[in-house]
Amino acid sequence: MKKEIKKITTHVLLQMKQKGEKISMLTAYDYTTAKILDHAGIDVLLVGDSASNVMAGHETTLPITLDQMIYHASSVVRAVNRALIVVDLPFGSYQGNSKEALNSAIRIMKESGAHAVKLEGGKEIKESVERILSAGIPVMGHLGLTPQSIYKFGTYEVRAREKVEAERILSDAELLEKTGCFAIVLEKIPAELADKVAKKILIPVIGIGAGGGVDGQVLVLHDMLGLNNEFNPRFLRRYLNLYDDIKGAVQNYIKDVKSKDFPNAKEQY
Ligand code: KIV
């Protein structure tokens, strides 16, 4: 008999926090890799707007469009049986007003079949979060380094080293929890602050460059697989070196084609 798969829901994530079981999350943007990640047992897949960087080659996350996010998200949805799929609302699709935010979130849910959306920001997006939630769409928050605001920050350095910004992150996290978010991502902030936030609020806190005191971890898939060997932040652990492996494989293929070694007698009809 086929074993029943226990799907990850926002409720399951909450239970994981309550039990002290860490949540694993990775980005995914396409069918083939999403399928591998789901079979491996990942809890949450984030169709991140980092697709703008790693898939499309833009310098920032700003250029990616809602249509492009929906394309990536629907490819991921077709691959996945177990993981919870969260999709980033891209820059420009929710900052205008809460009606625009709701329309963008509805398009993502309706056209891709994903399970939740993620928005960057705190107090300033409260109304949009409320309106999206009122339509029954689960919302994940994102505080700390929020790459859609890179031109305001000016750098990708660690955020909230100063007291004022640290206090703002804490109060924004409490506000997002109160508003109804099911989880929050904290990006690139001091581990001590992230730990404090995770202890203060009841919903799961997923960190990237935010230390081990939070309830789960997220990494950009291309970074942890070593597909990009030019990005070396301190928080990144590389589990493979695919840049070198793929380059080596392609060099071998080129060599075999040029030398007429490929295809051999068994590799033809
Ligand atoms: O877009 C993304 O990949 C993200 C993660 C860095 C959390 O938002």
What ligand 1 atom has the least distance to the C-alpha of 25? Answer: 7
160 shares its domain with 248 = no
* Closest by Cα among 250, 184, 248 to 215: 184
Residues 149 and 253 in one domain: no
Query: Is the Cβ atom of 220 under 6 angstroms away from ligand 1?
Result: yes
Instruction: Give, as one character, the DSSP assignment of residue 184.
Output: E
Q: Phi, psi (5° rounding) for residue 157?
A: -65, 165
| Domain co-membership, 141 together with 210 | yes
Residue from 187, 192, 230, 267 carrying the catalytic annotation: 187
Does 3 reside within a domain?
A: no
The one-digit pLDDT tens for each residue of the chain (269 residues) are 777 889 999 999 999 999 999 999 999 999 999 999 999 999 999 999 999 999 999 999 999 999 999 999 999 999 999 999 999 999 999 999 999 999 999 999 999 999 999 999 999 999 999 999 999 999 999 999 999 999 999 999 999 999 999 999 999 999 999 999 999 999 999 999 999 999 999 999 999 999 999 999 999 999 999 999 889 999 999 999 999 999 999 999 999 999 999 999 999 99
User: Ligand 1 pocket check: which of 205, 218, 219 to mutate, most ligand atoms within 8 Å of Cβ?
Assistant: 218
Question: What's the CA gap between 180 and 46, in Å, rounded?
Answer: 19
DSSP-based three-state secondary structure for 63: coil
Residues 260 and 208 in one domain: no
Helical axes 126-134 vs 98-112, angle rounded to 10°? 40
Q: Which two tokens stand for residue 193?
A: 């602050």
For residue 2, tell me if it sits in a domain: no
Instruction: List the residue whose alpha carbon is closest to atom 1 of ligand 1.
Output: 48
Q: For residue 82, give the H/E element and its range.
A: none
The SS3 assignment for 25 reads strand
CA dist., res. 184 & res. 204, Å (int): 7
> Which amino acid residue places its CA nearest to atom 4 of ligand 1?
48
Asked if 87 and 170 sit in the same domain, the reply is: yes
pTM listed for this prediction: 0.97
Dmax (CA) for the chain in angstroms is 70
Q: Is 100 an active-site residue?
A: no
Domain that holds residue 250: 242-269
Does 5 fall in a domain?
Answer: no
User: Do 139 and 251 belong to one domain?
Assistant: no
Q: Is residue 102 part of a domain?
A: yes
Q: Among the residues of the chain, which ranges form H helices?
A: 10-19, 31-40, 51-54, 66-79, 98-112, 126-134, 150-153, 163-179, 191-200, 221-224, 242-258
Atom 8 of ligand 1, nearest CA residue = 48
Q: Say yes or no: CB of residue 185 within 6 Å of ligand 1.
A: yes
Number of domains, the chain: 2
Q: Does residue 222 lie within any of the structural domains?
A: yes
Same-domain pairing of 19 and 85: yes
Nearest to 101, CA basis, from 61, 74, 133: 133
- Same domain? For 226 and 247 the reply is no
Query: 159 and 82 share a domain?
Result: yes
- CATH code at 206? 3.20.20.60
146 CB within 6 A, ligand 1: no
Same-domain status, 61 and 157: yes
